[in-house]
């Protein structure tokens, strides 16, 4: 067993969408000591629970994935909750990990931390050049504080903390609940339900002109594992595919893959969110050899198939 596989890992959010894939990826790399806490046992919003978690898990490496997340609708409905819970799950955890002499802390931030009008492709140096897009700024800023904390702790304490910024993720095990899902699972569910009920029209939010970059969740998990093993610098790193698609083209593609043949009507009164998103992937490629492998259409097809196999009617 190599040195990385022999380490003890604590993966917060390890039973969630991205976290479960990260745990799978660590196991593929030969890691056997992986502690996945559950909220009912360790509420990360409670400082005593965080201390108890670190005592019980005794990790060498913490990968912090636990988060309160959702699409535009959820971010608009619960901005205070998204800010507070994401900030308070992350900041005390990193502090207590430092106090517990954890050897490495991997903080997972978000593409939503970038300024609203960031030039495409998003370079990591652009993170502080403006305010995030308003619909998800509280969430994005809370997660960006993990970068601030990681850099400050490395400077003052020599604590090995890194911050990664994944782009929009999709894939098997995603959240398909209408009120909290992101755009891809929301579209998959709506098109399939419309097809099965014979509904002739589906309404999509916004104008469809905004663009997004999407990364298949298994690729994201591999990137996080590579960074956990090989990256120790204090500079933020994007984890993405390096390509973008308009929401209009995405919607047409999901309609085709789900077999929906009705009309798509755009509700321009609803927000588009950030105008464009596509990240530079050069730093991840250079620093720890990460490149996305799964094509977008292949990943979407796998996501549709997973949902059909696992949904409850």
Domain CATH for 142: 3.40.50.720
Range(s) of the domain holding residue 133 = 8-174+214-242+276-293
Q: Give the pTM.
A: 0.95
pLDDT digits (tens, 9 = 90+) for 2-38: 999 999 999 999 999 999 999 999 999 999 999 999 9
DSSP H helices in 43-78: 47-57, 72-77
Q: What is the mean pLDDT of each run of 10 residues along the chain (313 residues)?
A: 92 97 98 97 98 98 95 89 98 98 98 94 97 94 98 98 97 92 94 96 94 97 98 98 96 97 95 92 98 98 97 74
Is 131 assigned a catalytic role?
Answer: no
Whether 197 is in a domain gets the answer no
* Number of structural domains in the chain: 1
Q: Could you give the dihedral angle defined by the CA atoms of residues 31, 37, 228 and 152, in that order, rounded to the nearest 10 degrees?
A: -150
58 assigned to some structural domain: yes
Alpha carbon distance 187, 253 (integer Å): 10
Angle at 34 between CA 33 and CA 38, to 5 degrees: 145
Flag whether 201 is in a domain.
no
pLDDT tens for each residue of 215-241: 999 999 999 999 999 999 999 999 999
Phi, psi of 93 (to 5 degrees): -65, -45
pLDDT digits (tens, 9 = 90+) for 30-61: 999 999 999 999 999 999 999 999 999 999 99
User: Maximum distance among all alpha carbons in the chain?
Assistant: 61
Residue 85 lies in a domain: yes
Question: Do the domain assignments include residue 62?
Answer: yes
Catalytic: which of 42, 114, 139, 216?
139
Asked if 63 and 25 count as a contact pair (C-beta separation under 8 A), the reply is: no
Tell me if 248 is assigned to some domain.
no
Contact indicator for 108, 63 with CB cutoff of 8 Å = yes
Question: Does 226 map to a domain?
Answer: yes
Which residues are bridge partners to 203 per DSSP? 265
Q: Is residue 305 part of a domain?
A: no
**pLDDT for res 98:** 98
């Amino acid at each position: 067993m190599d040195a990385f596989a022999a380490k003890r890992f604590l993966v917060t959010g390890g039973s969630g969408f991205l976290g479960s894939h990260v745990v799978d990826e660590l196991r593929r790399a030969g890691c056997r000591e992986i502690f996945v806490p559950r909220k009912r046992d360790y509420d990360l919003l409670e400082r005593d629970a965080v201390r108890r978690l670190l005592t019980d898990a005794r990790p060498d490496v913490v990968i912090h994935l636990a988060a309160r997340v959702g699409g535009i609708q959820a971010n608009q409905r619960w901005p205070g909750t998204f800010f507070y819970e994401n900030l308070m799950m992350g900041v005390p955890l990193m502090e207590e990990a430092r106090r517990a002499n954890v050897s490495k802390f991997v903080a997972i931030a978000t593409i939503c931390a970038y300024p609203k009008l960031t030039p495409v492709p998003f370079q990591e140096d652009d993170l502080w050049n403006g305010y995030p897009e308003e619909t998800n700024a509280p969430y994005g800023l809370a997660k960006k504080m993990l970068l601030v904390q990681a850099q400050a702790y490395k400077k003052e304490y020599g604590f090995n903390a890194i911050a990664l910024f994944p782009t929009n993720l999709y894939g098997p095990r995603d959240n398909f609940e209408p009120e909290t899902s992101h755009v891809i699972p929301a579209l998959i569910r709506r098109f399939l339900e419309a097809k099965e009920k014979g509904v002739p029209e589906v309404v999509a939010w916004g104008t469809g002109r905004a663009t997004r970059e999407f990364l298949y969740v298994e690729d994201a998990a591999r990137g996080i594992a590579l960074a956990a093993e090989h990256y120790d610098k204090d500079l933020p790193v994007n984890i993405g595919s390096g390509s973008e698609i308009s929401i209009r083209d995405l919607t047409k593609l999901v309609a085709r893959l789900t077999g929906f043949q009705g009309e798509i009507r755009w509700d321009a009164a609803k927000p588009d969110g950030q105008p464009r998103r596509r990240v530079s992937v050069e730093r991840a490629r250079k620093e720890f050899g990460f490149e996305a492998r799964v094509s977008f259409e292949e990943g979407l097809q796998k996501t549709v198939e997973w949902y059909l196999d696992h949904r409850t009617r």
